[in-house]
Amino acid sequence: MYLGFDYWGKPVPSFGDPAARVLLVGLAPGAHGSNRTGRPFTGDGSGDFLYPLLHRAGFASQPHSTHRDDGLALTDAWITAVVRCAPPGNQPRPQEIDACASFLDEEIAALPQVRVIVCLGRIAFDGVLAHLVRTGQLTRRSGFVFAHAAEYRIPGDRWLLASYHPSLQNTNTGRLTARMMLQVFRRTRRLAAIPTP
């Protein structure tokens, strides 16, 4: 299906508004999505589900994301992942997560305006909690339980929100619906004190 495409095929850089009050954290580049296009959640089913909802919630300038130069811009949102390269079998190993941990630490430190961190999936949720412990912001991870729409206050007058990952495995089965995701984004705007568009 992708035989004629040139693949990005290297670590996928984060994307968004440097003054963002919302940070969305995903899992890793998809083999034929971000790994092909070079932009998070671009060119695959996860992005086809996610970007229209980010647009409806007022975070994205357009509802579709097809390639790095398609004109899409984010407002008040920044998208990253706990792993920067496409993992074998679409499932990152602990060693890969550990190898990318310092990038996540530096990135979060470079986004001082962030008020809400939205974790897209359990691996992202665990990765952000590991960051908070590693950087001394939390002493332990106990008490933080992953569930869709779960929310927790975290140090720095910030909030941590969880969502199921927008993978086709979740969206095609109805485990995650557009309505569920939109509710998380609307709650995110309220917690970040961003007026509704």
pTM value is 0.94
For the stretch 98-128, pLDDT in tens is 999 999 999 999 999 999 999 999 999 999 9
Distant-in-sequence, close-in-space partners of 108: CB < 8 Å, separation ≥ 6: 23, 114, 117, 131
**Helices 94-109 and 122-134, packing angle to 10 deg:** 60
pLDDT bracket for residue 37 (50, 70, 90): confident
For the stretch 159-193, pLDDT in tens is 999 999 999 999 999 999 999 999 999 999 999 99
Q: Is residue 179 part of a domain?
A: yes
pLDDT for 101 equals 94
Number of domains in the chain: 1
Q: Is residue 156 part of a domain?
A: yes
> Which of 11-15, 49-53, 164-168 is the least confident region?
11-15
CATH of the domain at 72: 3.40.470.10
SS3 of residue 152 by DSSP: strand
pLDDT for 19 equals 97
- C-alpha 53, offset from chain centre: 13
For the stretch 54-108, pLDDT in tens is 999 999 999 999 888 899 999 999 999 999 888 777 788 888 899 999 999 999 9
pLDDT for 9 equals 72
pLDDT for 1 equals 59
Domain, as residue range, for 112: 22-191
What is the spatial distance between Cα 39 and Cα 45, in angstroms, rounded to a whole number?
Answer: 14
For the stretch 139-154, pLDDT in tens is 998 899 999 999 999 9
Q: Is residue 69 part of a domain?
A: yes
For the stretch 2-11, pLDDT in tens is 656 677 778 8
Q: Where are the alpha helices (DSSP H) in 42-177?
A: 45-56, 94-109, 122-134, 168-171
pLDDT for 3 equals 59
Q: Is residue 6 part of a domain?
A: no
Q: Is residue 113 part of a domain?
A: yes
